[in-house]
Amino acid sequence: MSTPIPVEFWYDFGSNYSYLAVMRIEAVAKKYGVPVQWRPFLLGPIFQSFGWNDSPFVLQKEKGDYVWKDMVRESKKYGLPFRRPTTFPRTAVQATRLALLGSNAEWGAEFSRRIMLLNFALDQDIASDSLVLAVLRDMGLPADALMVAARADEVKARLRDQVALAHRMGMFGAPTCMVGSEMFWGNDRLDDAFRLAAGR
């Protein structure tokens, strides 16, 4: 039996379709027997490199209007709670750095799900340090130490590298799955990415 290629899962805490994928991915990964490599990153600098100063769902009104209706239907389809965030897109730099720290630890996936639920089911300000701190505490983690660790220059540099790598790979949105050099954009392509990784 060959070892399946892991699926690199790139997501942004402000991205609504990333929310759906973050909540679903472990079940999909289990179904295909393929490991996930969590890759939290920031879409903002990528959009800026295209000359955009906001999400395309804000810049293009017609698509934006549609997306929130689609989100209501899609969330229902997957059995996920959803409330349209009053601020969109939210940029959560500290939470993203923490997710990066957690991406090689046991707690990373659950931390990411909690941040996503706060943004897209509870409409909370995920950029708030006190909120992020409360999440870490609630998970029984060394919250204060992690908050400090996430602000280390090394972690900041790692996040910048992550964004630069996304850019170099031609990423233009989130969620995006990479299987080797093969790119799959969107929650709608999650299964396709895992199917390729599983060699089916």
Q: Which residues are at the interface with its own copies (CB under 8 A)?
A: 50, 60, 62-63, 65-66, 69-70, 73, 77, 170-173, 182-183, 185-186, 188-189, 192
Residue whose CB is less far from its own copies, 108 or 173: 173
My answer on whether omega of the bond before 56 falls inside 30° of 0, hence cis, is no
Within 13 A of 183's CA, how many CA atoms are on the CB side? 14
Cβ 65 to its own copies shortest distance, Å: 6
Which own/partner contact pairs does 55-59 have at CB distance under 8 Å and 24+ positions apart?
55/14, 55/88, 55/89, 56/173, 57/16, 57/88, 57/89, 58/88, 58/89
Cβ 190 to its own copies shortest distance, Å: 11
Residue whose CB is less far from its own copies, 112 or 176: 176
Residue whose CB is less far from its own copies, 17 or 107: 17
Residue whose CB is less far from its own copies, 158 or 189: 189
* C-alpha span between 159 and 145 (Å, rounded): 19
Token pair, residue 184, equals 């799959």
Cβ 200 to its own copies shortest distance, Å: 12
Answer whether 20's CB lies under 8 Å from 121's CB: no
Cβ 16 to its own copies shortest distance, Å: 15
CA-closest candidate to residue 23, choices 84, 104, 110: 110
Cβ 170 to its own copies shortest distance, Å: 5
Residue whose CB is less far from its own copies, 28 or 141: 28
